[in-house]
Structure 1
Amino acid sequence: MESFTTGIERYPTQDISPKDDAQRVLKVLKDGGIAIIPSNVGYGIVATDPEALCRIFNAKKRQPHKRHAMIGNYDLHKDIHNLPARGAEMVRRLTVDLDLPLGVVASYHPDHPIIKKIPEYLLNQSSVGGTMAMLVNGGKFQEELSKLASNEELPLLGSSANLTGTGTKVTVEEIEPEIKAAANIIIDYGRQKYSHPRPSSTMINFNDLRVLRFGACYHVIQDVFSRFYGIHLPDDPGRDILFSGHLANSNNVH
């Protein structure tokens, strides 16, 4: 086992095992710890304990308007999000039929057991206007960890493993030392596959079909909306013009 500093465990040293590594991470999270984990759109930093999530917020130097997202999977999305039939079919086509990573923003069921375990102040940091973001189809490790957390009705929340404004990291080596130091365990699966032209997830509000962030596989997602639904999403201007990929809250579907 390799360590950055005392108390930080880094896996794997040799073999990659999403099931075993997810069990290791869940134990740390249930003890109030913080984990840096891989997803196919880059590395995230997550927790289930409210105090640990506050430590993440502080380590990242996030501004008050920034939000945590839920780390989930397609089944959890169906349980927690509340979408009309068309929006639900779109999410399924993108994440299940076409196997694309996607940040799904939608209304949620406030009476869901996992949602009810989130303190009000933390729920306010994880939702906007009655909607919540969830990363769906983030890869095998995320799928395993999400299943384990869901089975125990634990809210798995977090964001990208980087200082605010510096961009999602696709290798552990790129993650800033102060972010690594905040974690109790780091799962290092090497370079993640969706790093060009953008890491991080494409994020879409499925309540009003509005692009919130240009991210991984955006051109494919844009084509799906046009080809199958006749909906024309805006073009990604590129990282040189819009580094973060985040769009202002305006109607950008035509």
Structure 2
Amino acid sequence: MKAFIIAGNEFSMLARSPVVVGFVVLMLVLGLINAAGYSSMVSEDYYDHGGDLMVGVSNFFWNFSMLFAFLAMCVGVLSVANERYGGSLGVLFAKPVYRRDVIIGKFVGISMLLFVLITLILALFVSLMMLVYVGRADTVGVVARMLLFAVVLFLNCCFTLGLVMCLGIVLSKPEALIVSMAFVAFEWLTNIGSLPASLGKLNLINPGYLYVYAMYGASGSLFNDSMPLGTWLSGSSPYIVLMLMEVAIIMLVNCLLFNREEA
């Protein structure tokens, strides 16, 4: 019960933080720019079939995902490393609360904030695009695919958050920030081919690659609206399960590390 109280406090505190407010403003601007660019391409018949809405959505997939990974990193550092450095965690520990409740509560609160932001901002992006879309869209299908996009991106952000919280437990604030930034940069640079990625089958434990595999699946891309959702889900389910397992493992590690600090 106390974990949920901590989660609620964490949610409300971070929702008002300058980092989150600034991020929301940035995404609003990017949403308008993306819709304007999509409108220009539609008017120039760049796409077939009156605009190909899902193709347009896939065009902002990388930047959208990378920005949310960066946000997860920032709020993770603020939540653990920054509070440890500032001493506010010590005040919380003075209250009758288990350490595992603190780390779980913080994770739940931040992850729920991330899910709300992902869902609302993704809805904004797609809604703005639909205003200029001149084709006939399957609204139910678009909504279903965007919800699945939000869920898979949310899982990726949860792992990033859990890892950054782990770094905040074992490292100082500057060290945690540097290592976290290095992780996010490496994760996304390897995904877009800027760095060599030759791990072979070991890529299955790489969170970034798991995310890509889940989105594009063994059967095809989530953004391919000519492919039934069931087909995509059957091919992507193993990767989504692995993502869930990674999140569970990193949080178990966090709880163990946080409890050991008490000794």
Please, what TM-score do these two structures have when normalized by structure 2? 0.25
Higher percent of residues as strand: 1
Please, what TM-score do these two structures have when normalized by structure 1? 0.25
Higher percent of residues as helix: 2
